[in-house]
Homo-oligomer: A and B are copies of this chain.
Amino acid sequence: MAAMSKTTLTISSKNYSSWSLRGWLLCKMAGLAFAEKPLPSSDPSTRAELLLLSPSFLVPCLTHQGIAIWDTLAIAEYLHELRPEAGLLPAGRAARAHCRAICGEMHSGFGNLRSALPMNLKAHHAGFKVWAGAQADIDRVLAIWRDCLATYKGPYLFGELSMADAMYAPVCTRFLTYDVTLDAAASAYCRRIMALPFMLEWAAAAQAESEEVEELDVEF
């Protein structure tokens, strides 16, 4: 039963795959020991995933005790059941509902932000021109952050680190990559997330990633 007990997380590009980053951060925040299982960049499903064309069951996929869980929020809830002490969800019922609501909003929405400002940790586009549709998404993210930071008093969205910070972490990288204008509180929150040891580890791996995946004919 050795194969049954191996814990793996299937991910794709560390530079480009925002869903991989979310799943990986959640596992790290829960303190789960796992082996990364990279989807090769030559795999057609890697390309499909990065072009937002693939169903969500490819990446990230956590396999734990023979159970395969292939959706980011399902992974988050599974980890919360497994390791409630990690605090992936806030302790109070109202805060927990609020946390799940903004995680759900990120999970199903922000399509303009995703397609116009794709995650790309290696790049920096100074003075990037944001079109109005993506700006509306950015404004909504900033309103969510403002509300959370005011309500729970920081330093993270719900006070302590929670699944919400993992869900919004790729957005922090995008705001930096695309030089998005931020107020002081949002800017400080982004820097705080980028300075997390797990984020530094991920960002370093993204920088070191082979350029092979860059050959993708990205159609945004």
Which A residues form the contact surface with B (CB < 8 A)?
55-57, 66-67, 69-74, 77-78, 81, 93-94, 96-98, 100-105, 107-109, 140
| A56 in contact with B100 given A81-B93, A94-B67 (CB within 8 Å) | no
Inter-chain CA distance A56–B108, complex, in Å, is: 8
- List of B residues within 8 angstroms of A71 by Cβ: 100-105, 107-108
Contact B73 A140 (CB under 8 A): no
Question: In the complex, what's the smallest C-beta–C-beta distance from A36 to chain B, in angstroms?
Answer: 20
Among B70, B73, B101, contact of A69 (Cβ-Cβ < 8 Å): B101
- List of B residues within 8 angstroms of A103 by Cβ: 71, 74
Question: In the complex, what's the smallest C-beta–C-beta distance from A94 to chain B, in angstroms?
Answer: 5
- List of B residues within 8 angstroms of A67 by Cβ: 93-94, 97-98
| A101 in contact with B140 given A71-B108, A108-B71 (CB within 8 Å) | no
Inter-chain CA distance A67–B100, complex, in Å, is: 12
Inter-chain CA distance A192–B73, complex, in Å, is: 28
Inter-chain CA distance A18–B30, complex, in Å, is: 34
Inter-chain CA distance A142–B98, complex, in Å, is: 33
Contact A97 B109 (CB under 8 A): no
Question: In the complex, what's the smallest C-beta–C-beta distance from A50 to chain B, in angstroms?
Answer: 15
